[in-house]
Structure formats: C-alpha cells, structure tokens
C-alpha cells in the first residue's frame, strides 16, 4: 500500500500578512478602548459597543486565517454572514 502523495498547498502570504496585521491592530484597539477612563453611562455604552464590534471583527479575521491554512478559500467568513 502506497501513501497518497499530495502537492503542498500554497498559502497566500500577502493575505496572511494583511490578516495578521489586522489581527494585531484590532487587539491593540481593544486594549486602548479598555484603557479609556469614563464615568458617563453614555460613554461607557459607546465604548462597550466599540469593543464588541472590534471583537466581532477579530473573530472574522481569525476565521479567515483558519480558512487560509485549511485551503478552503471558496467561501469567506464575510460571504457566510451576508
């Protein structure tokens, strides 16, 4: 019995680099949002909404990175959510 030979997958390095940069930037923004001092309920709610939006974007970035490594680029996370 011979082992199946498969071609090595090619990963889109530019896309991976962009996604990694975006991942880092989103994490930095989330950290910065947590560091904002506020005593206003309205401001706190706005900050919370911004953090939630950044965390949702971060989840999409991580899903896109997983797809790059799995080689399943046919359907992106953005296409699934629309």
Q: Which residue, among 30, 9, 7, 19, has the nearest Cα to 66 in the 3D structure? A: 19
- The pLDDT assigned to 44 comes to 96
pLDDT at residue 47 above 70?
Answer: yes
Q: Which tokens is 66 given?
A: 């997983």
Query: Are 65 and 19 a contacting pair, CB within 8 Å?
Result: yes
Name the pLDDT band for 71 (thresholds 50, 70, 90).
Answer: confident
Mean pLDDT, to the nearest integer, of 11-32? Answer: 95
Is 0.85 surpassed by the pTM of this model? Answer: no
Helices (H) and strands (E) in the chain, counts: 3, 0
Confidence band of 40 (pLDDT split at 50, 70, 90): very high
């Amino acid at each position: 019995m011979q082992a199946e030979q498969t071609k090595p997958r090619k990963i889109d390095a530019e896309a991976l680099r962009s996604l990694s940069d975006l991942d880092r930037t989103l994490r930095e923004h989330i950290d910065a949002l947590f560091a904002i001092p506020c005593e206003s309920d309205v401001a706190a709610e706005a900050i919370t909404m911004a953090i939630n939006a950044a965390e949702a974007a971060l989840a999409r970035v991580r899903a896109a990175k997983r797809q790059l490594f799995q080689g399943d680029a046919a359907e992106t996370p953005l296409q699934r959510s629309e």
